[in-house]
Amino acid sequence: MLPIRSAAILSALLLAPGTVPPGDGPIRGFSSATARTQREWETKFQAIPNPDSLREYMRVLSARPHHLGSPRDSANAVWLLERFRSWGLDARIETFHVLFPTPRERVVELLAPTRFTARLREPALKEDPASSQQAEQLPTYNAYSADGDVTAPLVFVNYGIPEDYDQLERLGVSVKGAIVIAKYGRSWRGIKPKLAAEHGAVGCLIYSDPGDDGYHAGDTYPAGPFRPRDGVQRGSVLDMPLFAGDPLTPGVGATRDAKRLDRSAAPTLPTIPVQPLSAADAQPLLAALGGRPAPPGWAGGLPITYHVGPGPARVHLKLRFDWRLVPAYDVVARIPGAERPDEWVVRGNHHDAWVNGAEDPVSGAIAVLEEARAYGALLKQGWRPRRTIVLALWDGEEPMLLGSTEWAETHANELSRKAVAYLNTDGNGRGRLGADGSPSLARLVSEVARDVTDPETKMSVWKRSHLGEVAAARTADRRREARERSDLLVEPMGSGSDYTVFYHHLGIPSLNLGFGGEDDGGIYHSIYDSFRWYTMFSDTAFVYGRALAQTVGLATMRLASADLLPYEFSRLSDRVDVNLKEVQDLLTAMRDSIAEQNRQVEESTFVAMNDPRRPLVPSVREPVPPFLSFAPLQNGATRLKSATSRFESAYTAAMKDGASALDTARVSRLNGLLLRAERALAPVDGLPRRPWYRQLIAAPGWYTGYTPKTMPGIREAIEAKRWSEAETEAAELGRALQEEAKLLDEASTILEQSTREGS
């Protein structure tokens, strides 16, 4: 079904010989002697992952709908457990009990000016057998929507993000007492009902506009990879930026006997009913809107004139759910560390899906399996990782990262003391390796990516991503920067996958990895995310599945067996500098922008620009933001910079000349210090109003969700014009950086001593 020419080129590439030659340079954290042994094991490891195995795992795991609480979900868990055990691994299922509502009743009706009843149903396609497993499919719904029965005028709010409400305010349109209809996209979907409710709306509809992931983006399923007009995106609408995990057990594991909040007191639950719609169901509702035409940029891909409302469209929204606790089955395998069993490398991907989930999550979960199979084979050949490896296939990620969060909250003390790193994946496709997470792991992943071959180009995965960064840079300065940086760009971490509890809550160095950039799609969280879809439109030959297993496997193996933990802190220091400049620039930009707005108010620019037939609410004078003191943060950043620089010299010298003096006691002290270093960035008080989020370097934005805010305490205080809070948070982060620097200085002292003694 691919165009003949592309398919021919693809086959040619897949058959083309050539891989990057096996690496032989130094490996971060290894002495030259241990690196040699490590490379031998890695060569053996890389040969094991196999596209046919990956395909077969996907076929089994995506064969039937397997959402949290479904029969197939537990069957898959048992099957996964058996796989781990069949490869000789010590595995078990850990069970939690989590709130997971499913629909009892769903009604969306247009009552005026015409009548229409939404179907709320994705049709089966004869081309795709998975789509016809309707008895097992979850209906289209937004998990954790409030129960409700409301009738109200409709208002179109574009993507329903803060700038859209700013625009509505300028138009003089209120959503108070209205049902809003928002496009999917540009935020975590839970932001949409949260903002709608904050603005007084009584209900929220979220639909997939064909301008985003439907026919305007490309051919639709089954002919192409994009969302058909009847396709619906399911998904959770909890307030993820407040805390992740079971809404009834914030901060503690949802064990059978856990103390639970009353549902009415659970703060992450939305307060209004929310329902997702297909484009086909949304069109009659949007077409029935009157009022002002939608502002520039708001119209999507439907063949109508988009209006804002309110009304005359009047909508009845009635939703009722079955609010049950269901079991979540985490499948967890352990390979005990031979020398440092109390240092853990945790690697995970979820196994639950909204429906069949071939892409999300199975395309990532199968890499975990293939890594596990390879480790099993290596163990039989005598491989013994120095540290403990924990392999996890989480349940209940889709509703709210439940399996990973409840497991990590249950084992929080142990993880805080022991976890060296958390490596996450969550689906995989074709293209370039992307990474987000801790800058201190940028060196590790870059070294690994130099040793893995990109299936399509036969250059190294590192080189392809590196050149991708060069190509994506918009300015000559950015291009120079990208070219000069030998480490891959590790992007700040938002939320939306299982790394959240590890990175944001516990401060464990984390990475989220995946290949992508070439596969289009609009089947996300629909019944069309199936084996047929994946094997027609994504990594059809499972060669990127192999590359993912090779990449994450190598990273795990290096973290597990390095003499010294392979963190590298210059990238962290660089990022602190960049983000510090950004928050300063943000304040300056706000000052300039408000001063300019005030000037325009004074000189009547607003009057000059206002069209009396489309009047906008006049701008008014606003207080210009004050200058703020970033001094404690600047001092922390400077201290960190010199500490990381000293550490880097000390580390390099010690690995070269001091190896002989790095005895077990020193290595233990060093690893202990390093393991604690990243924790310093996540002090126990956490962020204002959301203490569950402790990481001060990045957090999911309060009003973005998926998208991270760096230096969130400071940045969001500035955005919300809470000036004294911004200064407090700058001081807080300054203290954390001082603490981080102190730990690094202690480590440097030991390293320098070893070098002196060894050389």
Binding mask 431-460 for a second copy (x = CB under 8 A): xx-----------------------xx-x-
Q: For the segment 578-607, give every residue that binds a second copy (CB under 8 A).
A: 592, 596, 600, 603-605, 607
What tokens were used for 123? 């049709």
Size of site (CB under 8 A) for a second copy: 56
Are the CB atoms for 473 and 521 separated by under 8 Å? no
Omega before 222 within 30 of 0, i.e. cis? yes
Residue 709: in which H helix or E strand, if any? strand 708-710
Helix (H, G, I), strand (E, B) or coil at 109: strand
State the residue for tokens 């990594």.
Answer: 539
Q: Which positions from 75 to 114 touch a second copy by CB under 8 A, shown as an x/- string?
A: ----------------------------------------
CB burial string 509-544: b at 16+ within 10 A, e below: bbbbbbbbeebebbbbbbbbbbbbbbbbbbbbbbbb
Site string for a second copy, 331-370 (x = CB under 8 A): ----------------------------------------
Residue among 228 and 376 whose Cβ is closer to a second copy:
228
Nearer to a second copy, 219 or 342 (CB): 219
Contact 737, 636 (CB under 8 A): yes
Q: Contacting a second copy (CB under 8 A), which of 609, 617, 631, 720?
A: 609
Closest distance to a second copy from the beta carbon of 288 (Å):
14
CA distance 318 to 107: 5
- Would you count residue 224 as binding a second copy (CB under 8 A)? yes
Residue 429 interacts with a second copy (CB under 8 A): yes or no = no
Min dist CB 479 to a second copy, Å, is 7
**Piece of 73-81, 215-223, 491-499, 720-728 that binds a second copy (CB under 8 A):** 215-223
Angle between helical axes of 461-472 and 442-450 (0-180°, round to 10): 120
The least CB distance from residue 103 to a second copy, in Å, is: 30
Closer by beta carbon to a second copy, 2 or else 720: 2
CA separation for the pair 411, 419 (Å, rounded): 11
Q: What DSSP assignment string belongs to 362-406?
A: IHHHHHHHHHHHHHHHHHHTT---SEEEEEEEES-HHHHSHHHHH
Nearer to a second copy, 67 or 432 (CB): 432
Residues with Cβ within 8 Å of 569's Cβ and at least 6 positions away in sequence, in order, are: 439, 440, 640, 643, 644, 647, 648, 677, 740, 744
Stretch 481-510 residues interacting with a second copy (CB under 8 A): none
Asked whether 318 and 149 are in contact (CB, 8 A), the reply is: yes
Q: Which stretch binds a second copy (CB under 8 A): 122-130, 253-261, 434-442, 468-476?
A: 468-476
Give the 3-state secondary structure of residue 305: coil
DSSP 618: P
Contact (Cβ atoms closer than 8 angstroms) between residue 172 and residue 615: yes
We find the least distance from the C-beta atom of residue 542 to a second copy, in angstroms, to be: 15
SS3 690: strand
Q: What span, in angstroms and rounded, lies between the C-alpha atoms of 498 and 396? A: 10
8 Å CB contact between 490 and 435: yes
Q: How far is the CB of 4 from a second copy (least distance, A)?
A: 11
Taking the complex as a whole, how short is the minimal distance between the CB of residue 610 and a second copy, in angstroms?
8
Q: Return the ∠ at Cα 88 (arms to 56 and 363), rounded to 5°.
A: 30
Q: What is d(CA 155, CA 289) in angstroms, rounded to the nearest whole number?
A: 8
* Site membership for a second copy, residue 115 (CB under 8 A): no
- Rounded to a whole number of angstroms, the minimum distance from the CB of residue 9 to a second copy is 5
Alpha-carbon distance 334 to 388, whole Å?
7
Binding to a second copy (CB under 8 A) within 514-543 occurs at 518
Instruction: Give 601 or 661: the residue with its C-beta nearer to a second copy.
Output: 601
Exactly one of 479, 485, 656, 676 binds a second copy (CB under 8 A); that residue is 479
For residue 690, the minimal CB distance to a second copy (Å) is: 36
User: Taking CB under 8 A as the rule, does residue 4 contact a second copy?
Assistant: no
- Cβ of residue 476: shortest distance to a second copy, in angstroms? 7
The interface mask with a second copy, positions 172-211, x = CB under 8 A, is: --------------------------------------x-
Give SS3 for 150: strand
Work out how close the CB of 154 gets to a second copy at its nearest, in angstroms, rounded to a whole number. Answer: 17
Site string for a second copy, 282-321 (x = CB under 8 A): ---------xxx-----x-xxxxxx---------------
The only residue of 47, 78, 265, 471 in contact with a second copy, by rule CB under 8 A: 471
Which of 286, 747 has the CB closer to a second copy?
286
Name 181's bridge partners: 156, 205
* Residues near a second copy, by CB under 8 A: 2-3, 5-7, 9-10, 13, 210, 215-220, 224, 226, 291-293, 299, 301-306, 430-432, 456-457, 459, 463-464, 467-468, 470-471, 476, 479, 518, 592, 596, 600, 603-605, 607-609, 611-615
